[in-house]
Amino acid sequence: MNRHGRQTRLAEVGSAGQARIASARVEVAGDGLDAFVAARYLAGAGVGSVCVGSEALAAAVAPVDAAVHVEVDRAGAAEAHVDAFDLRDPAARAVARGARSALNALRAILEPSPPSDGRSS
């Protein structure tokens, strides 16, 4: 079984969805624990290219999957706007924010494209 075999068996992903994930590029905003969690989850899901805000974060993400390209763009290091979670521990909130950020990025990748009617706009 390949590295992403379990997620390709999900109806929401399938082999076509995994191919879209593998060809996607996702920018991860921030440089804290939430950015670390989001970037690691995205790399683990097989996102083709993950753009992070620091060399340290890139070094922490790169070992997850050798097929994932990790790049650094310090301009993208601005703090991301995230929802508030009802968790008392700041670290738990950061992990939850990072996980939600990764999930939202994967959902955006997997959303079907609107059908083309052949007309140009």
Q: Is the per-residue pLDDT at 100 higher than 70?
A: yes
Domain residue limits, the chain: 26-109
pLDDT in tens, 44-54: 888 989 999 88
CA-CA distances (angstroms) from residue 4 to 1, 14, 41, 57, 100?
A: 8, 10, 13, 23, 20
pLDDT digits (tens, 9 = 90+) for 104-115: 998 999 887 666
- pLDDT at residue 4, as a whole number: 67
Which of the pair, 6 or 51, is modelled with greater confidence? 51
Is the model more confident about 39 or about 9? 39
- Percentage of the chain surpassing pLDDT 70? 75
Q: Give the C-alpha distances (Å, rounded to integers) separating 53 from 17, 26, 104.
A: 27, 12, 19
